[in-house]
Amino acid sequence: SAVISQKPSRDICQRGTSLTIQCQVDSQVTMMFWYRQQPGQSLTLIATANQGSEATYESGFVIDKFPISRPNLTFSTLTVSNLSPEDSSIYLCSAGSGNEQFFGPGTRLTVL
Amino acid sequence: SQQGEEDPQALSIQEGENATMNCSYKTSINNLQWYRQNSGRGLVHLILIRSNEREKHSGRLRVTLDTSKKSSSLLITASRAADTASYFCATEGISGGYQKVTFGTGTKLQVIP
């Protein structure tokens, strides 16, 4: 199993600013993923964070808006840039271990 | 786009009754997982069923998988008020050359004491 922590747990940001979310896994994992969960909705995959190469983004998500870093096998960051109220969501980091997916507790972002 | 569609979207039952949630998906999968999410909280992994399995049990949970119909069901027996949560199915497969997990739309379960 893997234990995943995220920082910050929540934040309130002003329109036009950026927020960087950190994700730390307690063991080395090959795959790390970032999801967005809008209010009352299911989880949508933003991108797969690849160690040593650029992230792979899903349709509708672009690197300029959601830059991702993956400097090693236990850590990743997601930045949500040029914030607007529509970005208010929970952002979750996850990592695969075997065939099971583990999730961080999420970061609740509110954009004013 | 979402891989899985779940029904019902919402379910309200009395404590002690059984709750059944269904999930349908569109493409080939390696496995299917069910998660629970309490309001405002993170996801809790409940159970994983592989594509070559048809049924799996874990405590009060029973999961079935029918790959010919591309569907799965989650049964919670003898429900408790603490089971009140949203339940999501998530399918793992290869898409665009990458392994990824995609989530269904979710079922909101309310268990009334």
Closest to B29 in 3D by CA, of B52, B1, B13, B54: B52
* A102 lies within 8 A of chain B by CB: yes
Which residue of chain A comes nearest to B106, CA vs CA?
A42
CA distance B40 to B92: 24
Which phi and psi angles does A82 have, rounded to 5°? 45, 60
CA distance A81 to A20: 8
The per-residue pLDDT for B42 is 80
Q: Does residue B94 have a pLDDT over 80?
A: no
Which residue of chain B comes nearest to A104, CA vs CA?
B42
Which residue of chain A comes nearest to B10, CA vs CA?
A40
Which of A9, A42, A100, A103 is the best residue to mutate to test the B interface, defined by the most B CB atoms within 10 Å of its own CB? A42
Of chain B, the end-to-end C-alpha distance in Å amounts to 36
3-class DSSP string for chain A: CCCEEEECCEEEECCCCCEEEEEEECCCCCCEEEEEECCCCCEEEEEEECCCCCCEECCCCCCCCCCEEEEECCEEEEEECCCCHHHCEEEEEEEEECCEEEECCCEEEEEC
Per-residue confidence band for A96, with pLDDT thresholds at 50, 70 and 90 = confident
The per-residue pLDDT for A97 is 60
Give tens-digit pLDDT for A2-24: 899 999 999 999 999 999 999 99
* A108 lies within 8 A of chain B by CB: yes
Which residue of chain B comes nearest to A32, CA vs CA?
B100
Q: What is the mean pLDDT of chain B?
A: 90
Average pLDDT over residues A37-45: 90
User: Under an 8 A CB cutoff, do A42 and B30 touch?
Assistant: no
Q: Which of residues 8-67 of A touch B (CB under 8 A)?
A: 31, 33, 35, 41-45, 48, 56, 59
- Which token pair is B54? 């048809």
User: Under an 8 A CB cutoff, do B101 and A103 touch?
Assistant: no
The per-residue pLDDT for A98 is 59
Amino acid making up residue B83: D
Token pair 């069910």 in the structure block, residue: B34
Which phi and psi angles does B77 have, rounded to 5°? -95, 155
What residues contact residue A42 under an 8 Å CB cut-off, 6+ apart?
A: B2, B88, B103, B104, B105, B106
The per-residue pLDDT for B7 is 86
Give tens-digit pLDDT for B9-46: 999 999 999 999 999 998 889 899 999 998 767 888 89
The per-residue pLDDT for B101 is 84
User: Under an 8 A CB cutoff, do A42 and B98 touch?
Assistant: no
